[in-house]
Amino acid sequence: MAGQVIDGKAFAADVRARVAAHVARLAEEQGLVPGLAVVLVGEDPASQVYVRNKGVQTLEAGMRSFEHKLPADTPEADLLALIARLNADAQVHGILVQLPLPAHMNADLVINAIDPAKDVDGFHISNVGLLGTGQKAMVPCTPLGCLMMLRAYHGSLSGLNAVVVGRSNIVGKPMAQLLLGDSCTVTIAHSRTKDLAALCRSADILVAAVGRPEMITGDMVKPGATVIDVGINRVERDGKTRLVGDVDFASAAAVAGAITPVPGGVGPMTIACLLANTLTACCRAHGLPEPEGLTA
């Protein structure tokens, strides 16, 4: 194997430690405690695990955690009323509504009901617009985590060719905006892209956010490129359920200069960046300096 494995767990531990140190200073110097409210509607098992992990890590960082679990048949109006209460609650600096929502709810309506200043997922249309126009926004956690790892690994990203495979609103598009913000030359690929392999081979930075197990193979990677694998796919192999990314790790790692593994790459950075965003939201709400190196 040639490529360096980018250790997302270690990066995430470092981000969490920096958040916790800043939170401790805020408490000591300002008497302030950042608070994150997480809202879960229904009993989706994967969502329950995510919400539990978020709550545990929020408390470990020294912040307040508020969990709101609502039954799957909750009327949309009740969820909107809860969001209005959280918007008005001075102890709550970040609000996250766990997706997916039950089918009877309009996710766009719900997300856009969150105060943009508290929208720590960065999905509110105002934050999407701010990011798209290069202004100070709340940035979606997964792409923010990818950006932090890329900056740490490369230093400057200026002038590098970046290809983002996937154009979703939660990963692909914001990832492309962030790379553009750091002066990469960015191409977004998707299911209609012609000759994806050749396009990928032009990338100094290749980000895969597709949701297709191991579809990016070594022959699609430019020698020495940095490969960021956002994918989380469950596959049955040798009678066991395994987690794999959108990148075929073995063949890609043989060609890449650096690569994130799955698990242990992008995944751990997502919750770490949620904590960072909550801290940033608290600092902005109180007109205090933002934590360095934890925002876009």
Question: How many residues make contact with ligand NDP (CB under 6 A)?
Answer: 25
**Hey, how many other C-beta atoms are within 10 angstroms of the C-beta on 94?**
29
Binding segment (CB under 6 A) for ligand NDP, from list 108-116, 148-156, 160-168, 179-187: 160-168
Number of neighbouring beta carbons within 10 Å of residue 208 = 30
Establish if 132 lies at the interface with ligand NDP (CB under 6 A).
no
Question: Taking the alpha carbons of 173, 262, 159, 185 in that order, is the dihedral positive or negative?
Answer: negative
Do the Cβ atoms of 114 and 95 come closer than 8 Å? yes
Among 62, 94, 166, 261, binds ligand NDP (CB under 6 A): 166
Least distance to ligand NDP, CB of residue 145, Å: 7
Q: Which stretch binds ligand NDP (CB under 6 A): 105-113, 118-126, 185-193, 277-285?
A: 185-193
Q: Which are the catalytic amino acids? A: 54, 98, 121
- Report the residue number, 122 or 172, with the smaller CB distance to ligand NDP: 172
Cβ neighbourhood burial of 128 (10 Å; 0-12, 13-18, 19+): buried
Q: Which stretch binds ligand NDP (CB under 6 A): 59-67, 147-155, 263-271, 287-295?
A: 263-271
Report in angstroms how near the CB of residue 250 gets to ligand NDP at its nearest: 19
Q: Are strands 64-70 and 35-41 parallel, antiparallel or unpaired?
A: parallel
Q: How far is the CB of 36 from ligand NDP (least distance, A)?
A: 17
Q: Is 8 an interacting residue with respect to ligand NDP (CB under 6 A)?
A: no
Query: Taking the CB of residue 139, how many other CB atoms lie within 10 A of it?
Result: 26
Residue 229 near residue 246 (C-beta atoms within 8 A): yes
Q: Which of 3, 35, 122, 267 binds ligand NDP (CB under 6 A)?
A: 267
Between residues 87 and 132, which has the closer beta carbon with respect to ligand NDP? 132
Q: Under the criterion CB under 6 A, does residue 139 sit at the interface with ligand NDP?
A: no
SS3 content of the chain, % helix, strand, coil (to 5): 45, 20, 40
Closer residue to ligand NDP (CB): 30 or 106: 106
What does the block give as tokens for 177?
Answer: 């905006």
Residue 169, CA atoms < 13 Å, CB-side half-sphere? 12
Site residues for ligand NDP per CB under 6 A: 142, 165-168, 170-172, 189-193, 196, 209-212, 230-233, 266-267, 270
